[in-house]
Amino acid sequence: MPTMRAVDAAVAILEKEGVDTLFGLPGAAINPFYSALRKHGGMKHILARHVEGASHMAEGYTRAKAGNIGVCVGTSGPAGTDMITGLYSASADSIPILCITGQAPVARLHKEDFQAINIADIAKPLTKMAMTVLEPAQVPGAFQQAFHLMRSGRPGPVLIDLPFDVQMAQIEFDPDTYEPLPIYRPRATKAQAAKALDMLAASERPVIVAGGGIINADASDLLVELAELLDVPVIPTLMGWGTIPDDHRLMAGMAGLQTSHQYGNATILASDFVFGIGNRWANRHTGGLDTYRAGRTFVHVDIEPTQIGRVFAPDYGIVSDAGAALEQLVAIARERKAAGELADRSQWVADCQERKRTLHRRTHFENIPIKPQRVYEEMNKAFGPDTRYVSTIGLSQIAAAQFLHVYKPRHWINAGQAGPLGWTLPATLGVCVADPDATVVALSGDYDFQFMMEELAVGAQFNLPYIHVLVNNAYLGLIRQSQRGFEMDYHVQLSFDNINTESTADDGTDNPIKGYGVDHVKLAEAMGAKAIRVHDPEELLPALETAKKMLVEHRVPVVVEVVLERVTNISMGVEIDNVVEFEELALTSADAPTAIISMLD
C-alpha cells in the first residue's frame, strides 16, 4: 500500500471527487495542505483577500454550474470563524461547499494555543458535518464522507478541520482505487406522482410554484415540460427564478412581499391549487399564511422530510428529489395527454396572461438624480438572455427581481435566506471562475458593495471580468424604508462631505457625488478595476455598452456606479394582497419587455 502524508491523500481525494478549483488563503496552520496542492499541481487556486470572501466565492462557484462543489481553504482560528457566514448562507440555500481549515496540533487543542479554537462545534449547527480530524488515518474517510453528505439528500456545506500534525502524518492510502460513496436522494413513486396529479386535475385554477430545488436537481427542462403538458402556469420563487424563461407563455410571475410582480401575486390569489416543487414556503414568498392559503389546496414536494409541514401542513406531501419527482410527473402526464385525459385550461392560462400583460410597474423615469427603476429598464436593453445576474439583499436586489428578466436556470444567483451584505462581489467572482465565457452582472447597493470591496482586487489579479452595477443613494435603503414604520430615519445615512471630493466635476458641472461620501470610482480604480459613473438616465445604456467593451479589452471587473436620488420607496408590503405601490402603474404595457408583450399579444 502506498504511503503519503495525510494532506497528499486529501488533495488526491479532492481530484477524484471532481474538484479543480479552490478559493482561500494560506497560513501557518494550513501550509502543509498548500504544500500538497503545490506538489499536485493540477488545481487552480484563487487567492482571496478575506476568508469570508473565499467562502462566498465557493458558493458562487457551486451555484453557477450543476455538479460543482466549491472549496474554500483557510488557516486556523479566525479563518474558520470568518467562514461561518458562508456556511450559513450555503446551508440556508442548500448549497454544497467544503470548508477546510488548519488547526493547532492535537496535543495543544485544550491549551488555548495561538489561533486554536473549537471550530467544529461552532460550525456544527450550520453544516451537514463539522469535524476536527484527530487521527491521521481518518483523513481519507472524513473527506469521502464529506462529499457523500454534501451531495446526498438536501445538499449543504461541510467543514473539515485539520490539525497541523495530522496533516503532516504519514498514512497508507491508494488513490488509484479510491471511489466516491454512492449518493442518496429520495425518489417519488409512481403512485405518489399519480395522486398529486389527480389532486391537480380536480382543480380549476392550478399553479406550480417552482423552487430552487429544481435548479439544484438540474431539472428545469422537466419543469417546463410538465407545465406545458398540463397547461398550468408557473410561479417561480426567487431561488427558482430561471426554471422557466420569463417570456414563456406559462411564466406567471413571482409572488411575495418584496421580490414579486403584481401579476404574480394576482395569479396566486386567483388560484385554487398550488403545487410546490423544491420550495420551502419562505416567508418573503408567502406573507401571512391565512391570506396565502385561503381557498387553496396544496401539494408539496421536497427532498428533505422535515421540510414537509415545517411552515404549514400541505394537503399532500411527497419526500423526493425535485428532479426524480418531475420525472415521474412528466411520465404520467405524457400518458394522460396521449389518452386525452387532461383538462382544457386555456381560459385560466389566458386570464394569467392578461394579468401579465397589464400589471406592470412603471420604470421609465427621466429624473436627475436617477430613479432606480430606470436602471433596470436600461439593463434589460443592454444585457441579453444569456446574462448571469448575481445579487444578495437590499432595495437593489428587490428592485432587480421586480424589473429584470431571467431566461435560464442558474442565471439569477442569489443568497436567498441569509442575504449577507458583502456577498455579491465575492460570489460573482466564483461565478466568473465557474463560467469564464459568460456575461456576468452583479447588482449592489453602496452598502453591500462596501462590505467586501477588497475582493475587487481578486478580480483584477486573476482576470475575472464582470460588470458590477452599483446603485448609490448613500443610504441603507431597505432599512430606511423599514424604519418608516417607526417614524424615524436613524443611523441609516451613509452620506458625508468627503474632503477629497471637489464641488465641481472635471467638466465644470456640479459633482454628482458631492455629499454622497465614498468615491466608488476612485476606489475601484485603486483596486485595479475599471469604473464609470452615471448620473443622467440617458447615459445609462451607453455606459453599460461601454462597460461591455471594457470587459473584452481589459479582462477585469468594471464598476458602473449609478448616482440615484437619495430616497425612493420600492413596492412591498406585509401581505401578498396588500403590497404598497409607491409609483403609479404603467398605463400601458410600454414598460414591459418587448419579448413578453409579443408573446402575449
Task: Please tell me the predicted confidence (pLDDT) of residue 591.
Answer: 54
Question: How far are the Cα atoms of 347, 430, 444, 524, 592 from residue 556, in angstroms, in the given order?
Answer: 50, 14, 18, 11, 32
Longest dimension (CA), the chain: 76
Average pLDDT over residues 31-36: 96
Task: Please tell me the predicted confidence (pLDDT) of residue 193.
Answer: 98
DSSP string over 13-31: HHHHTT--EEEE---GGGH
Instruction: Write out the three cell numbers for 211.
Output: 423552487
Q: Is the pLDDT of residue 204 over 60?
A: yes
Q: Using pLDDT thresholds of 50, 70 and 90, give the confidence band for residue 599.
A: very low
Asked if residue 267 lies in contact with residue 408, where contact means CB atoms within 8 angstroms, the answer is no
Spacing of C-alpha 393 from chain mean position:
10
3-state secondary structure of 205: coil
Residue positions counted in the chain:
601
Cα distance between residue 264 and residue 275, in whole Å = 15
For the stretch 237-253, pLDDT in tens is: 999 999 999 999 999 99
For the stretch 480-499, pLDDT in tens is: 888 888 888 888 888 888 88
Task: Please tell me the predicted confidence (pLDDT) of residue 106.
Answer: 87
Phi, psi torsion values for 354, nearest 5 degrees: -65, -40
393 by Cβ neighbours in 10 Å (0-12 / 13-18 / 19+) ranks as buried
CATH numbers and ranges of domains, the chain: 3-177 (3.40.50.970), 190-358 (3.40.50.1220), 372-570 (3.40.50.970)
Average pLDDT over residues 121-145: 97
Q: Using pLDDT thresholds of 50, 70 and 90, give the confidence band for residue 510.
A: confident
Cα distance between residue 308 and residue 319, in whole Å = 8
Task: Please tell me the predicted confidence (pLDDT) of residue 474.
Answer: 85
Name every residue whose Cβ is closer than 8 Å to that of residue 532 and which is 6 or more positions away in sequence.
Answer: 521, 543, 546, 547, 558, 559, 560, 561
Task: Please tell me the predicted confidence (pLDDT) of residue 4.
Answer: 94
Q: Is the pLDDT of residue 184 over 70?
A: yes
Neighbours of 312 (CB within 10 A): 12
Average pLDDT over residues 322-330: 98
Averaged confidence pLDDT in the chain:
93
Place of cell 467572482: 429
Phi, psi torsion values for 561, nearest 5 degrees: -90, 125
Name every residue whose Cβ is closer than 8 Å to that of residue 385 and which is 6 or more positions away in sequence.
Answer: 245, 407, 408
Instruction: Write out the three cell numbers for 292.
Output: 396565502
Average pLDDT over residues 80-101: 96
Asked if residue 410 lies in contact with residue 387, where contact means CB atoms within 8 angstroms, the answer is no
Instruction: Write out the three cell numbers for 232.
Output: 398550468
Average pLDDT over residues 223-230: 98
Cα distance between residue 460 and residue 445, in whole Å = 21
Instruction: Write out the three cell numbers for 217.
Output: 436537481
Of 239, 209, 212, 241, give the one whose Cα is nearest residue 227: 209
Rounded to two decimals, the pTM is 0.94
DSSP letter assigned to residue 212? H
Average pLDDT over residues 352-361: 93
* Beta strands at 3-5 and 170-172: parallel, antiparallel or unpaired: antiparallel
Residue with the larger pLDDT of the pair 387 and 595: 387
Residue with the larger pLDDT of the pair 590 and 220: 220
Average pLDDT over residues 404-413: 96
Residue with the larger pLDDT of the pair 297 and 473: 297
Average pLDDT over residues 419-436: 95
Neighbours of 590 (CB within 10 A): 12
Asked if residue 239 lies in contact with residue 212, where contact means CB atoms within 8 angstroms, the answer is yes
Place of cell 442548500: 94
3-state secondary structure of 32: helix
Q: Is the pLDDT of residue 418 over 90?
A: no
Average pLDDT over residues 341-363: 94
Name every residue whose Cβ is closer than 8 Å to that of residue 52 and which is 6 or more positions away in sequence.
Answer: 82, 83, 85, 86, 422, 426, 452
Q: Is the pLDDT of residue 595 over 50?
A: no
For the stretch 547-558, pLDDT in tens is: 999 999 999 999
Average pLDDT over residues 337-355: 95
Q: Is the pLDDT of residue 573 over 70?
A: yes
Angle, CA 449 vertex, CA 444 and CA 453 arms, to 5°: 145
Of 488, 485, 517, give the one whose Cα is nearest residue 500: 517
Q: Is the pLDDT of residue 588 over 70?
A: no
3-state secondary structure of 59: helix
Task: Please tell me the predicted confidence (pLDDT) of residue 453.
Answer: 94
Q: Is the pLDDT of residue 596 over 70?
A: no
Place of cell 479554537: 117
DSSP string over 520-575: HHHHHHHTT-EEEEE-SGGGHHHHHHHHHHHHHHH-S-EEEEEEB-S--PPPEESS
**Helix or strand holding residue 333 (H, E):** helix 322-338
Asked if residue 374 lies in contact with residue 364, where contact means CB atoms within 8 angstroms, the answer is yes
Mean pLDDT lowest among 29-38, 153-162, 566-575? 566-575
Q: Is the pLDDT of residue 141 over 80?
A: yes
Q: Is the pLDDT of residue 447 over 60?
A: yes
Cα distance between residue 207 and residue 254, in whole Å = 12
For the stretch 253-308, pLDDT in tens is: 999 999 999 999 999 999 999 999 999 999 999 999 999 999 999 999 999 999 99
Q: Using pLDDT thresholds of 50, 70 and 90, give the confidence band for residue 585.
A: low
Instruction: Write out the three cell numbers for 410.
Output: 442558474
Task: Please tell me the predicted confidence (pLDDT) of residue 255.
Answer: 96
Alpha helices in 383-519 (DSSP H): 395-403, 424-434, 446-451, 456-461, 477-483
